[in-house]
Amino acid sequence: MIAMSWVGPINASEPPVISEEPSLLERYSNSVQDLILKGFELIGINYRFGGTNPDTGLDCSGFVQIVYKEAMGILLPRSAREQSEIGAVIDRHELKPGDLVFFNTMRHAFSHVGIYLGDNRFLHAPRTGAEIRVEDMRQSYWMQRYNGARRLLAR
């Protein structure tokens, strides 16, 4: 089984390295692996406000919606706010790959969403002029704006 491993610093232009080494991802079910791998396939796609199509661009909730639909067959609500209202509420120290993480980036709670990858990293569509990428939740910007997390997948 191919596993993801993090090598070196996170760089928005470089996707995570795929290797044969064991990783956090191997601890979880094939469905979680499928979900995260689907998210990785979308790295580099341009952000587009209101975007729901990878060919023209995705916003944060459109990205999460497509990943869950294509990898899991789960149709999520359209907005980050609506997505924050489903699933089980979990504490930050309980985060596992595949969980949804929420942030206040537009002066209101739950205005941004991403998919947690493990090791304090998440995958998301950040903003106009940027591409889907991996970020570190320990960066002060994200730490100050963290709103919480939801688990949609049974473990």
Which residue is catalytic, options 112, 121, 133, 150? 112
User: Annotated catalytic residue: which of 124, 133, 135, 153?
Assistant: 124
pLDDT band at 11 (very low <50, low <70, confident <90, very high): very low
Report CA Rg, the chain: 14
Q: Confirm whether 71 is a catalytic residue.
A: no
Number of Cβ within 10 Å of residue 28's Cβ equals 17
> What does pTM read for this prediction?
0.83
H/E stretch holding 83 reads helix 80-83
Checking if the pLDDT of 68 tops 60, the result is: yes
Predicted confidence (pLDDT) per residue in 117-136, tens digit = 999 999 999 999 999 999 99
Task: List b or e across 91-113, with b for residues whose CB sees 16 or more CB atoms inside 10 angstroms.
Answer: eeeebbbbbbbbbebeeeebbbb
Asked whether the predicted pLDDT for residue 10 surpasses 60, the reply is: no
Residue (of 27, 36, 29, 69) closest to 52 by Cα position:
69
Distance between CA atoms of residues 17 and 104, nearest Å: 30
- Residue-level pLDDT at 32: 92
The CATH fold assigned to 29-151 is: endopeptidase fold (from Nostoc punctiforme) (3.90.1720)
Q: Which long-range contacts (CB under 8 A, 24 or more apart) does 135-139 make?
A: 135/10, 136/10, 137/101
For residue range 70-98, what is the model confidence (pLDDT) as tens digits? 999 999 999 999 999 999 999 999 999 99
Q: Of these residues, 60, 115, 123, 149, which one is catalytic?
A: 60
Strands 100-103 and 57-58: unpaired
Whole-angstrom distance, CA of residue 119 vs CA of residue 113:
17
93 in active site: no
Q: Give yes or no: 112 in active site.
A: yes
In this structure, of 1-10, 11-20, 133-142, the range with the lowest mean pLDDT score is 1-10
**What six digits make up the tokens of 6?**
């993090």
Per-domain residue ranges of the chain: 29-151
Kindly state the average pLDDT of the residues 59-74: 96
